[in-house]
Structure 1
Amino acid sequence: MVLWSYRTIPQTSTKETPFSMTYGTEAMLPMEVAVNTLRVANKDEESNAQDLRINLDILEEKREKSGMRQAAYTHATERYYNQRVKEKAFKVGEYILRKNEASRDQPQGNLIPTWEGPYIVTEANRNGAYVLETMEGRQIPRTWNSRNLKKYFF
């Protein structure tokens, strides 16, 4: 039933069902065929075959429109996300804190501190990756993403 409902419910991004995108027409429930519903009762073999041919002819156009809707939906979602993301940039020599769960230095639990440090930024790489060292001058292994760092104010 879940698979059937997925195939027969219009998707948010395309406004089309996967079934109609594949076959060019909307799916019919088996119950609609067994019991003469209005959708089935007024159709004879010739008009049904003609409707299917018309639907197949316009299927490519329907797919193109759906592709454009999908691209617009993706662009809108990306724009929504990017408006709320705040870029964090640190300069070499700044003091920062590192998120404890990212380093997994201490066992996870509710009563452990969220941040550890302070550390000093020694190198700023592309895409928000930073090389850190302790206050004593020992370099921390691997680079750290800016999502797991925050400025230390003392």
Structure 2
Amino acid sequence: MATRQTPYSLVFGTEVLIPIEVVILKARYQLQDQENNARILPHDLDTIDELMDLARTRMASHQQKMAKAYNKNIKVRRFQIGDLVLKKAFQNTKDPNAGNLAPKWEGPYLIDSEARNEAYWLATLEGNFLPRF
């Protein structure tokens, strides 16, 4: 787990004690008594926020590492007006009778103009604008 904490400990501030640990006396359970537990429990509840902050920090670190590993393989492609491109074929534009053998790409199309950052208006090779879907 990225946080190195169990969900139970993040909510309640202590580790869960399973029933078999009560039957087979372990040092963790054997050395505790009711009065000592009642005295220590409020202190443990105060440390829940600390555990949650540590978990958030670890989670953010883990997410940054994952994003870095993912983004290192991405190659940015810039297109120019006049380039020929292919467009992904979606369910609504595919031939319904083609099944799995339908082409996954449509085109080629001509980049006519830039709509926004890295978004383009496409046209057919004859010059007809391609409608947006």
TM-aligned CA deviation for residue 76 of structure 1: 1.2
Amino acid aligned to 1:50: R
2:94, 2:102 within 8 Å by CA — same for their partners in 1?
A: no
Identity, % of aligned positions: 37
Within a 5 Å distance, the mapping from 1:104-115 to structure 2 comes to 104-107=93-96, 109-115=99-105
Q: Which amino acid aligns with 1:37?
A: L
| Structure 1 Cα separation of the partners of residues 108 and 74 of structure 2 | 24
Query: Does the 8 A contact of 2:86 with 2:105 survive in 1?
Result: yes
Equivalent in the alignment of 1:121:
111
- Post-superposition shift, 1:117? 1.1
Give the TM-score normalised by the residue count of structure 2. 0.83
Figure out how many residues of one structure are paired with residues of the other and give that number.
Answer: 131
Q: How does 1:4-153 map to 2 (within 5 A)?
A: 12-33=1-22, 35-38=23-26, 39-101=28-90, 104-107=93-96, 109-142=99-132
Distance 1:48 1:127, change over 3 A: farther
CA RMSD, aligned part only? 2.2
Secondary structure class of the residue paired with 1:91: coil
Distance 1:20 1:41, change over 3 A: same
Higher fraction of helix: 1
Preserved contact between residue 112 and residue 120 of structure 2 (Cα < 8 Å): yes
Q: Which runs of 5+ in 1 are unaligned?
A: 1-11, 144-154
